[in-house]
Structure formats: structure tokens, C-alpha cells
Structure 1
Amino acid sequence: MQRFAPFALDALLVVVFCAIGRRSHDEAVLTGLLTTVWPFAAGLLLGWALAVLAARGARFDATTLWPSGVAIWACTLVVGMALRAVSGQGVALSFVIVAGCVLALFLLGWRAAVRVLR
């Protein structure tokens, strides 16, 4: 179970990011949450897959900032924005910047805290 904790935490933080965004724009959080979450969730899954594959047989540690955390964050952001664009959702530059910063804080922040505590 502990093996899946980093993924579960990342997934929870992506959902929280989307819920905060919907709430800050006075949109219904629960009824439209899936529409907002799915592009970023797909990016998160791809980022995790790439991070695991990049380990190439070495011991994969999902708690490291580099390369795991950065790959997961970058894929979540880039793929999430690309999927939002092709599905007709907003991808204004200001949103990309805010999303990049908040997702970095969420997805890299807990990894930095783990590193400091170790």
C-alpha cells in the first residue's frame, strides 16, 4: 500500500488543484470537476509512466524531485493543457502560468519536503 502512496497523493493534489480553480471562478465544484480533472489526470498518468520507464530497471523512487518529480509535473502540465486545448477548454497564457506554478508547488513541494526531512 505504501508503494502507491506517492501516486495517490499526486492524484489527490491534482483534484484539489482543479477544485480550487473551479471554486475560484464560481463554478460548480462537484458537477463539473471531472471535466476539469481528466486532462490533468491523463497528464499525471503519462508522467508517472515516463518516470517509471526512465528508471530502466534501477530502483524507482517517486519521491525524488529529479527526475521523477519534474517529469511528473511537466507531463501533468503540458499534456493537461494540450488535452484542454483539443477538447475546447480554456488555455489562456495566464492560466498556463498559474497552473504551472500551483502544480509545481503541489507536485514538487511535497517531494522537496520529503527530501528535507530525510
Structure 2
Amino acid sequence: MSRSSIGTAVALDATLVLAFAAIGRLSHGESLAGLGVTYWPFLGGLIIGWLVLRAWRHPRRIVWTGLGIWIATVAGGLLLRLASGQGVQLSFAIVTTIVLGLFLLGWRAVAALLRRRDRQHMPAAA
């Protein structure tokens, strides 16, 4: 895995977590001025997931990397929100789990489909 591929995977994960935070704020009528307050706990969970799983070894795998990063991002983000005095309602935890699952596993699933398609369309060696 090249450094640029790893960098792309990290950037995609962080960007999608940022998008989750922005969508959440906007859907509740909050301004993006406080985006960092919503973003940092989940970014922290994402970083923890990447480090614990050593995700740089296989960043595009759905199983175990993607699932582990998803769980770490959700659990870490919710726990960091609680520790910092931000609220965590059950409905928020459910939506967080679903949306981050779609985002963090979704791009990996699309990448896997594209890789499979590319392999099927490669010319056979003569």
C-alpha cells in the first residue's frame, strides 16, 4: 500500500466524519461556527481506531479495518462527548451509528467494487 493510498484513506475517513458533524449541526438548525465542538470527539475516536487497528496496513479493507474504525469512531466519539459534558441521547447514538457506518464502510465497499471491476476488465496475459 502506497503512502498516497494511506493518506487518501485517512483523508476520506476524516472528511466523512467532518461531513457527519456538519450535516448533524445543519439538520438541527445550528451554525457551522461551532463545528469543531461537534467534530473533535468523533475525530478523536477515528484517530484512536486508526492507531489501535494499525489501519495503515490495510486501510481499504471492510473487515476488520473498516468495521473496527467504525466502532472506534462511534464509541470513542460518544464517550468523548460524554466526558466533555456534551449530551448523548439514545436517538443521537443510533443516528450516529447508522450514518458513520454508511460513510466509513460505504466508501470502502465502493472501493472494493471498483477494484473487482478493474480486475475483471484487465486483459489476460498472453
- Structure 2 length as normaliser, TM-score? 0.85
**Superposition RMSD in Å:** 1.3
In the TM superposition, structure 1's runs of 4+ consecutive aligned residues that sit over 6 Å from their partners are none
Q: Residue 56 of structure 1 corresponds to which residue in structure 2? A: none
Give 1:9's aligned residue: 12
Report the CA distance between 1:10 and its aligned residue. 0.3
Mapped to 1, the partners of 2:57 and 2:11 lie a distance apart of 16
Amino acid corresponding to residue 69 of structure 1 in structure 2: G
Which of 91, 94, 99 aligns to 1:94? It is 91
1:38 maps to which residue?
Answer: 40
Structure 1 residue 88: deviation in Å?
Answer: 1.2
CA deviation profile, 1:14-69 (whole Å, cap 9, x unmatched):
0000000000000011x10000001000000000011217xxxxx81100001000
Q: 1:2 deviation in Å?
A: 3.1
Count matched residues: 112
State which structure, 1 or 2, has the greater radius of gyration over its C-alpha atoms: 2
Partners of 1:88 and 1:27 in 2: CA distance: 18
Gaps of 5+ in 2: 116-126
DSSP 3-state at the match of 1:9? helix
Separation in 2, partners of 1:117, 1:96: 31
